[in-house]
Structure 1
Amino acid sequence: MIHFGFIDALREKREKGKNAVIGEIKAFSLTRGDLLRGRDPLGILKAYENAGCAGISYITARSFNGSLEILKKICRETELPVLRKDFVEEKMEIERTAEAEADALLLIARILRYRTSEFVDLCFEHGIEPLVEVFSDDDLVYAEKARAVLVNNRDIFNPSDVNLQRTFRLAPKLKGFKISGSGISKPEDLKVLEVVNAVLVGTSFMLAENTEEFVRSFVEARL
């Protein structure tokens, strides 16, 4: 299977005049409940591919009804770069991510704190792009070694707290490739691309009646 690389694929989409959108396959939401609604995750993957997503994200956390086995299937079925999202705290998860053949792994600075830098290095050693998640100014120091940073607009410890202004406030302080995630529910929210390079969208895509058509409206939106 050929992969262009996580960051490279997102940059290439922007260079082609499209919005760099990472489509997230999300089985469950803490605020919206069951998101799959009996659907096959690989069917969602196909809709994302057809709509022009630049990358795929999948949450393996059990609290989101995720699994490594589904991640492996997604990685086998797509040529798009795949991001594994989870609440990673142990180094063995980096090896498991590599074994699944995912291209990138989310590292949450609020969880790893001073260990973030070590986990970033280990990801690079395993051929995985570390995507460091930040939520506040306190997290910025832990993202200094990362080539790619995700600003999470949602407070993971208080899921109902979502604010796109977090991206506008934090992104200008970050280096490297910047991504905004959470709370992006309509094409108008892509205004965050004024300060970041890409967006990650999950729940609103999973709730759409016509997934492919809705996702395409994000990819092709004119800002």
Structure 2
Amino acid sequence: MMVFGLSRAIRTSKKNAIIAELKVYSPKYGDLLRGRDPFEILRKYEEAGAVGISYITDPKYFKGSFEFFKKLCRETELPVLRKDFITTKEEIEKTAEAGGSAILLITRILRDRLPEFVDYAKEHGLDTLVEVHTEEELGIALTTNSTMIGINNRDIGKLELDDGNVSLTERLAPKIPRKFVKVSESGIATIEDLRRALKVADAALIGTALMKAEDPGALLKTFVEADL
């Protein structure tokens, strides 16, 4: 298990730090895998220079699988972020046991329990990506010992059916102290989006745009190597 591997990979990246998401399904766009081998896409992500891999294990809305997450952790040396609607400490333990490097903790869901969950995850060797979508949520996130704060440009309450854009990152990221790694999540589809996001954030998490592409690896490479 890589201890705090994702935040370190972002901090030490020489190129644009992109967490590439292996996203199999979107409530908005439907099937994103389209019969392709997810492990072939994983290899392309590795070759293109992703700093980490993200995967959503939620089965209900995103058709994810925890069993696949476990395989993913075994198949790559890159740090793997587990995204889900985490509500129990048992899920944190399972993520660490599976070989995950980081876990998403959503401020809107955990509220007062957030600091405790962050500490518990870190005790289990996991980086924590605390997700916020509003200024109020950011206020809660800043009270934690999280390694990373993620600004979700889309509203998770609307299950990504809204059209989020990086203006939310531009507004919230400057309010986050440097001790946190800042990640802009969702709504990044073009080099211009990426430029705006990385002007104020340390990394971008991109899933839908990559998976909608004919060649996810080629698009990721242009993002990673873009001169911003």
Q: TM-score, normalised by structure 1?
A: 0.95
The residue aligned with 2:225 is 220
Structure 1: which 5+ runs fail to align? none
1:122 aligns with 2:120: yes
Q: CA RMSD in A?
A: 1.3
Paired residue total = 220
Distance 2:117 2:227 in 1: 37
Give runs of aligned pairs for residues 28-177 of structure 1, distance below 5 A.
28-62=25-59, 63-144=61-142, 145=144, 146-158=146-158, 159=160, 160-175=162-177, 176-177=180-181
The 8 Å contact of residues 21 and 199 in structure 1, kept in 2 or not, is answered as yes
Amino acid at match of 1:164: V
User: Partners in 2 of 1:39 and 1:149 — Cα distance?
Assistant: 32
Q: Distance in 1 between matches of 2:56 and 2:79?
A: 14
Worse-matched range after superposition: 34-43 or 178-187: 34-43
Conserved 8 A contact 1:3-1:81: no
Superposed displacement of residue 3, structure 1? 7.0
Does residue 6 (structure 1) correspond to residue 3 (structure 2)? The answer is no
CA change 1:140–1:2 in 2 (3 A) is closer
Distance in 1 (CA, whole Å) between partners of 2:110 and 2:133 is 13
Task: Tell me which amino acid in the other structure corresponds to 2:44.
Answer: A
Change (3 A) 1:120 1:3: closer
Letter in 2 for 1:22: I
Gaps of 5+ in 2: none
Matching residue's letter, 2:217? E
Which one has the bigger strand percentage? 1
Matched position secondary structure for 1:149 = strand
Name the CA shift for 1:184/1:88 in 2 (closer, same or farther; >3 Å). same
| Code of the aligned partner of 1:182 | S
Return the letter of the residue paired with 1:11: R
CA distance in 2, matches of 1:73, 1:163: 32
CA contact (8 A) 2:191 2:226 kept: yes
Match of 2:23 in 1: 26
Q: 2:103 & 2:200 partners in 1: Cα distance?
A: 22
Q: Deviations over 1:51-75 (max 9, x none)?
A: 1111100000012111111111111
Q: Distance in 2 between matches of 1:154 and 1:119?
A: 23
User: How much has 1:183 moved relative to structure 2?
Assistant: 0.4
How far apart are the structure 2 equivalents of 1:149 and 1:4? 14
Whole-Å Cα distance in 2 between the matches of residues 165 and 4 of structure 1? Answer: 28
Normalization by structure 2: what TM-score?
0.93
Q: Is the 8 A contact 1:3 1:80 kept in 2?
A: no
Contact 2:11 2:181 in 1 (8 A): no
Helix, strand or coil for the counterpart of 1:120? helix
Separation (CA, whole Å) in 2 of partners of 1:118 and 1:41: 34
Letter in 1 for 2:183: I
